[in-house]
Amino acid sequence: MSVMTVLELNGHPTWVRLPKGKGQTVVLLHGGMSSSASLLRVLGPALSTKYRVGAFDRRGHGRTADTDEPFSYSAMADETIAFLEHLDRRVHVIGHSDGGNVALFVAMRRPDLLRRVVVVGANYHHEGLMPMPTFDTQSQEFATWAERFGEFSPDGADHAKVVEAKTTVMTFSEPTFSVADLSTIPVPTLVMAGDDDVATLRHTCSMYEALPEGQLAIVPGTSHQLLKERTKVCLGIIRHFLAMKERPVTFMPIRRLATDVND
């Protein structure tokens, strides 16, 4: 059960879905040029059977209006931290794409707010992305997206090009973390990706290997939209990870054995 409302986050009216009921809380962080509706539709129903599910639309996304400021992962992390502080409890966070990048920022800054983190199709440095074409704003595909954007955005469909431009600048200049930065994250973190995702597999694996409490899941036969393409598989992996109370215990630890020895 949840309540949809508008909440002031860092002084900006923000569309939120506040978690209600019993159990631990899961907060969903949507991807770029998207909204909470996507993750709530795909993951929300199954997760709601055990967890209280919350979400919010970041500035310039979904039902939350934009400002004149450029997009940045740092500012998005500030929004997220403000939302988690409002909830006033430790939560699990699941972030897809840009939402996963934001989750990494939050895990570095405020691990005290988090129980476990799932990052899906994320990257810790923009140079880890595969070569990708930019969104052609003159195409019919963009026109269709802009119309859909305008159905919910307080800024209207004409603002879609502004959002696309801000997103493109951020995508190809941020984030700029190193593996040393990732090694400071103390929160158990599941790195998920499709085997044909937007980040290179080398980059994704280096993210996993840098995280002290990391786990890795590469879902075969999927793309950046793995949550939609293999929903049941992804949900099974995520629910198993969130339910864990301790570190994984395996028959033949190698990387984790080295970590245990160093501890």
Q: What is the per-residue pLDDT for 119?
A: 99
Q: What is the per-residue pLDDT for 257?
A: 81
13-59 confidence digits (pLDDT tens): 999 999 988 899 999 999 999 999 999 999 999 999 999 999 999 99
Which domains are assigned to the chain? 2-262 (3.40.50.1820)
- The tokens for 236 are 């099974």
- Whether this prediction's pTM lies above 0.75 is answered by yes
Nearest-angstrom CA–CA distance, 60 and 66: 4
CA 236 vs CA 26, 103, 124, 219, 240: distances in Å: 15, 21, 25, 12, 6
Q: What is the per-residue pLDDT for 22?
A: 84
Q: What is the per-residue pLDDT for 2?
A: 61
Q: What is the per-residue pLDDT for 38?
A: 97
Whether residue 46 contacts residue 116, with contact meaning beta carbons closer than 8 Å, is answered with no
Task: Give pLDDT < 70 ranges for the chain.
Answer: 1-3, 258-263
Helix (H, G, I), strand (E, B) or coil at 32: coil
Q: What is the per-residue pLDDT for 1?
A: 47
Q: What is the per-residue pLDDT for 262?
A: 55
List residues bridging with 25 in a β-sheet: 52
CB within 8 A of 20, min separation 6: which ones? 1, 2, 3, 52
For the chain, how many helices (H) and strands (E)? 11, 8
Pure H helices in the chain: 36-42, 44-47, 73-87, 98-109, 140-152, 160-171, 179-182, 201-210, 226-229, 231-243, 255-262
